[in-house]
Amino acid sequence: MKQHWLPFAGAGAAMLGAVLLMAQAPVGGPPGGGPPGGRGGGKGGGKGAPPAFQMVKGQPIDTREPEKKDDHPAFPGQTRVPYEPTTPPKVTLLTDKLNNPWSMAFLPDGKILINEKPGNMRTFNPKDGSLSEPLMGVPKVYYQGQVGLLDLALDPQFASNRRIFFSYMELMGDDDGIVLATAKLAPDDAAITGATVVFRATAVNARMHGANRGGRIAIGRDGNIFMTVGDGSGSPPWDMAQKLDNTIGKIVHVTPEGKPAPGNPFIGKAGAAPEIWSYGHRSEEGLTINPDTGALWETEHGPRGGDKLLQPEAGKNYGWPVYVHGIDYPGAAIGAGITEAPGTEQPLYYWDPVIAPSGLAFYTGNQFPEWKNSIFVGALGGQMLDRLHLDGKKVIGEEPLLMDMRNRTRDVRMGPEGAVYILTDANSLMKLTPK
């Protein structure tokens, strides 16, 4: 299902490129989720000053003026919940020798498999601190701006079949697009074999900048796979996320073979892509399954304001760009400038101004009793790890962690032993344990 979308040309394309460069700057410049410019980027810690959050128990941490001056929550507790401090963790730097790391997975032999955005997979061995050479067999990726080799997940039966799934940006002639691929990890962890693309999202003309493309994957309890596909638009945003004839600005749901997952909401509907799970998304860089309930959770970037935490459900519309808790990068309202719209779903929580969320993980371990019923949100522009205390689907407390380190947190995962691991744009892998 290959379609060609090019919303701007000529002078409009130049404006689009400038706007998307703005979209990638962290807090301290225009908001967004990636390094400015094209190739490379992501070096060092945070760029620019992180948000000056206040740490007063029982008060919201964010006292910044909202980007959208008339912004308001749709219900109590949808934004700026009280600060809830816990005992600070011990932070151990495991390695700072990575190259733009994006995601990780824990192997049964104790190693950590890591994707680096330029196109390499490596393993890190916590037992001796060794970092492998790049694995053989990884397909060539299109590496630019926010895109390249992206997310990573192990098959639920990995211990017996050695199968992995990963996402990346693929260049296809004049077009590019996010793809979902599968391969097998060699017994010695030195290569992947049989790499095969099983699903290709709707293609976008490659002259567009590599921003707002998504690429996170999560495997449900039934073994089927969710993947985020960003809307890839500029300023003003296009409405492809609202159209069902493409997979742009969507969460897709497919089998391990890349077919539409049984029960998908638009199977058999004329003019609709059968892989779609939910729509109306912008730039989704966090995706995970709640291990207690099996529900899908997601975070996505707003433009200037309006980062969201969602629990996407089948067939539902999450509103982009019909409503937004924020404004466009040049400062104008988006669309009608509304924060609610009939037929659309509100976020469980939102940030205005943004923190640029990337990476998402529930904490269900035993090492940190104070972190029970928490979900962790990596923050790029926010240069922190944000802990949200949950009561069911309601956010009741917030705690920014690692603020003194000023690291753009790219990915966060709970390890098998209950520690918390994070990847940062400072090319580091860190481990959080109790003091």
Contact 27, 354 (CB under 8 A): yes
Which pLDDT score is estimated for 383? 95
Please tell me the distance from the alpha carbon of residue 418 to that of residue 365, in angstroms, as a whole number: 4
Contact 15, 234 (CB under 8 A): yes
Residue type at 432? L
- Per-residue pLDDT reduced to its tens digit, 376-396: 999 999 999 999 999 999 999
> Pseudo-torsion of CA 241, 245, 246, 250, nearest 10°?
40
Which pLDDT score is estimated for 207? 66
Which pLDDT score is estimated for 210? 65
Please tell me the distance from the alpha carbon of residue 359 to that of residue 166, in angstroms, as a whole number: 15
Contact 413, 112 (CB under 8 A): no
Contact 299, 308 (CB under 8 A): yes
Question: Phi, psi (5° rounding) for residue 51?
Answer: -60, 140
Contact 78, 346 (CB under 8 A): yes
Is the dihedral angle over the CA atoms 27, 29, 32, 38 positive or is it negative?
negative
Query: Which token pair is 345?
Result: 């779903």
DSSP structural state of residue 138: P
Q: What is the residue whose two structure tokens read 């890591």?
A: 114
| 0.75 surpassed by pTM | yes
Burial class of residue 369, CB neighbours in 10 A (0-12, 13-18, 19+): exposed
Which pLDDT score is estimated for 338? 98
Please tell me the distance from the alpha carbon of residue 347 to that of residue 282, in angstroms, as a whole number: 13
Please tell me the distance from the alpha carbon of residue 93 to that of residue 87, in angstroms, as a whole number: 19
Which pLDDT score is estimated for 205? 79
Is the dihedral angle over the CA atoms 67, 68, 74, 75 positive or is it negative?
positive
Query: Which token pair is 216?
Result: 């996170």
Which ranges constitute the DSSP H helices of 92-187? 158-161
Which pLDDT score is estimated for 52? 86
Query: Which token pair is 327?
Result: 């404004």
Is the dihedral angle over the CA atoms 302, 305, 309, 315 positive or is it negative?
negative
Query: Which token pair is 305?
Result: 């304001």
Please tell me the distance from the alpha carbon of residue 267 to that of residue 131, in angstroms, as a whole number: 44
Query: Which token pair is 427?
Result: 């090319």
- Each residue's pLDDT tens digit in the chain (435 positions)? 444 343 333 333 333 333 333 333 333 333 333 332 333 333 334 456 778 899 999 999 999 999 999 999 999 999 999 999 999 999 999 999 999 999 999 999 999 999 999 999 999 999 999 999 999 999 999 998 889 999 999 999 999 999 999 999 999 888 889 999 999 999 999 999 999 999 999 998 766 656 789 999 999 999 999 999 999 988 899 999 999 999 999 999 999 999 999 999 999 999 999 999 999 999 999 999 999 999 999 999 999 999 999 999 999 999 999 999 999 999 999 999 999 999 999 999 999 999 999 999 999 999 999 999 999 999 999 999 999 999 999 999 999 999 998 999 999 999 999 999 999 999 999 999 999
- How would you label 391-419 residue by residue, b for 16+ Cβ within 10 Å and e otherwise? eeeebebbbbbbbebbbbbbbbbbbeeeb
Contact 78, 348 (CB under 8 A): yes
Q: Domains of the chain (ranges plus CATH)? A: 11-433 (2.120.10.30)
What SS3 class is residue 260?
Answer: strand
Which pLDDT score is estimated for 21? 31
Select from 133, 129, 193 the least CA-distant residue to 161: 193
